[in-house]
Amino acid sequence: MEKPYCDEPENPIKIEIPELVVEWQESEITYESNTLDLYVDPEQIPNNFIPLVKFYKWKKDGVHITIIGIILSIFLMLGFLWYDIYEPLKSKSVLNSLENIYSYRIKKDNNSVCIILDEDANVLYEKIANENSTYQDDILSQKIYWYLTENNKLFYLTSKGSQMVTDNVIEFLPSSDGLKVYYIVNQDDSSSLYEYKLESGTSILIDNNVVERDFCISPDSKVLAYQRKTTEDNVTETYFYSQGKKQLKATNVIPVALSNEGALFYYVQNENLFVQSDGVENQLIKVPNNDLSNLELFFNQNHTELQYTEYQYPNNIYPNYIYPNYKYLINKFLAAQSPLNRDWYISTNGKTGVKLKEYEIFDISLYLKYGGYINHWYNHTYTSNITHLTEILTFTKSLKCRELLDTTLYYSYGLISDNKLFCLADGSVYFMEYQADNPDKIIKISEDLCVKQLVTSVDNSFCYMLTVEGNLYQYDLNGNLKWRLDHVAEIIQIYLRGKEEFCFARINPQGPDLSSVSIYQLCYRKDDNTIVNVEGAGYIKIENSQGRLQDRLLYRDAMDDNQYYMLKNGKGIKVNFPLSSEN
């Protein structure tokens, strides 16, 4: 005869864990809010007491765990939000703590010399250009100057001094904000890619066995694309690197550019330039021998627009008043940009390219106000911090505007602001205004003047016109045309990190005409719109680029080849060279 179940003292202690789990899950789902689940059958107390106690203990702990989870989630969300806010503020704070520095090339002791000046015209850095230099050009990004020495040491220079990053570097590319740099180290026949952050002063290894020269950064500095060699012959892999993670993107392609967060990917493969968006690729242009030096590429600020052509130096370039010799770093862009015998195209948001007319081609010289940077190791790819490369297309929607521009041989135009535009067309200046609901306005404002140079203010509130006879006129939106100065050879406009200045290279009326040897008197427009002579600048040679500048004007005394001055607030500050340039 079986003994009664209650006589077995061990039975209440034999608890099957699966049974506990099942009862707990069913109770959690079915009876959690039911007060009747507090009822306990007295006859089942010996059999169910322990599971019941553990069940309610788990329910209580579950509530606590849920509360803790919610609190942790809130802290994590606040942490991520703080990081997103704090990091840009921290980066901005670092840049704000630095003063502006300026890059120039000058003639010194019969050599072409690169110098870096601070706001007080002190020489921070000096080297003879093109002497034992690497193939990697120096880059001034924001207020930070990155350069390689001839023994492959990577340095950066700020107004506070210089700092070596590392050695054995063969190439580098700074981010758009200048606060980090990606570089490749070649050691023991192996190439390794690193990321260096200026704020922390630390480097992170991204990958080994990478392909030299073939890497690029998105404008927001969040994504890096690079090539990596594989064990198979003639096979490479292209990766995206972001926030410490690598993602294989493609094989046997050469990265050229990325849009923000890598949404658009530009690359070369099988002698063609492609753009890929959402898995769809479009062919843009042929690239002979997969050689990027055969391309000329201009991107807008987030790389959703690209103007491109086959790169070549034209035999004939427009006159100086249309394509003057600007800052040396982008001379090659401006020279090669002449549309003579060249076809330019634009691709928008990853779509197939559309051929542009000559007057629709993006002109860097007009948009130096917005700034820009070299976005690839090879200097034929350039990013402008402008929203759209095709502002002029707003006006060419009008048949009336197209008719004027289509019949113009030589043209130039100023910045577009508030749908307003000043345009120089074959010696005459027109004011254009695009009106969506009304006929477009086109007014000739130069009267019977024959104009050779047109320069407009940033906000298009006025413009300067320089005639072939050397007379300077100023026109404002109230319709006033005033004569300002005579014997002017060139208008010089400076966009200096938010501030606009105008200078005028003038043939000195009190002395001989020395314009044939580029010796001028320097004049300056003050804030009250008066024009004055710069003290001590009666016979000077302008050293840095003429036309439109992003740096302070640099000039030298025509009577002393070794005496240079930097123009600041209308006054010439003497450039201070160190007693020894060994460092």
Three-state SS across 144-186?
EEEEECCCCCEEEEECCEEEEEECCEEEEEECCCCCEEEEEEE
Ranges of beta strands (E only) in 55-160 are 102-108, 111-117, 123-128, 139-141, 144-148, 154-158
Residue 380 near residue 293 (C-beta atoms within 8 A): yes
Distance CA 126, CA 138 (A): 12
Residue 395, in any domain of the structure:
no
Q: How much is the average pLDDT of 124-152?
A: 78
Asked whether residue 349 carries a pLDDT value surpassing 90, the answer given is: yes
Average pLDDT, the chain: 79
Asked whether residue 543 carries a pLDDT value surpassing 90, the answer given is: no
205: burial class by Cβ within 10 Å (0-12, 13-18, 19+)? Answer: exposed
Distance CA 335, CA 317 (A): 7
CB neighbourhood size of 349 (10 A): 11
Residue 518, in any domain of the structure:
yes
Of the candidates 245, 244, 199, 207, which has an alpha carbon nearest to the alpha carbon of residue 226?
A: 207
Q: Which of 51-60, 63-72, 144-153 has the lowest mean pLDDT?
A: 51-60
Helix 17-30 to helix 45-96 angle (10° resolution) is 70
Q: How much is the average pLDDT of 151-179?
A: 90
Of the candidates 326, 356, 319, which has an alpha carbon nearest to the alpha carbon of residue 339?
A: 356
Distance CA 57, CA 524 (A): 84
The pair of structure tokens assigned to 344 is: 């330019």
Q: Residue 272 to residues 13, 264, 342, 355: CA-CA distances in angstroms? A: 77, 16, 18, 17
The pair of structure tokens assigned to 25 is: 């899950």
Percent of the chain having pLDDT more than 90? 39
Q: Name 137's bridge partners.
A: none
Q: Name 161's bridge partners.
A: 158
Residue 285 near residue 272 (C-beta atoms within 8 A): yes
Residue 243, in any domain of the structure:
no
Distance CA 273, CA 294 (A): 11
Q: How many domains does the chain have?
A: 1
Residue 506, in any domain of the structure:
yes
Residue with more model confidence, 504 or 310? 504
pLDDT tens per residue, range 246-286? 999 999 999 999 999 899 999 999 999 999 998 899 999 99
Residue 461, in any domain of the structure:
no
Task: Please work out, in degrees rounded to the nearest 5, the angle formed at the alpha carbon of residue 76 by the alpha carbons of 74 and 78.
Answer: 70
Residue 52, in any domain of the structure:
no
Asked whether residue 399 carries a pLDDT value surpassing 50, the answer given is: yes
Q: What is the pTM of this model?
A: 0.75
The pairing of strands 571-574 and 144-148 is unpaired
Q: Name 429's bridge partners.
A: 424
For 14-36, letters b (16+ CB in 10 Å) and e give: eeeeeebeeebeebeeeeeeeee
Q: How much is the average pLDDT of 205-227?
A: 92
Asked whether residue 89 carries a pLDDT value surpassing 50, the answer given is: no
Residue 491, in any domain of the structure:
yes
| Domain span including residue 571 | 487-582
At 280, phi and psi to the nearest 5?
Answer: -105, 130
Residue 242: its pLDDT value, please?
A: 93
Task: Please work out, in degrees rounded to the nearest 5, the angle formed at the alpha carbon of residue 578 by the alpha carbons of 574 and 581.
Answer: 130
Q: How much is the average pLDDT of 162-167?
A: 93
Laid out side by side, the sheet with 451-456 consists of 451-456, 462-467, 472-476, 481-485
> Residue 576 gets which letter from DSSP?
B
Which residues are within 8 A (CB) of 329 and not within 5 positions of it... i.e. 6 or more apart? 103, 137, 140, 374, 379
pLDDT tens per residue, range 420-477? 888 888 899 998 887 777 767 889 999 999 999 999 888 888 999 999 999 999 999 8
Residue 332 near residue 380 (C-beta atoms within 8 A): yes
Residue 328, in any domain of the structure:
no
Residue 276 near residue 267 (C-beta atoms within 8 A): yes
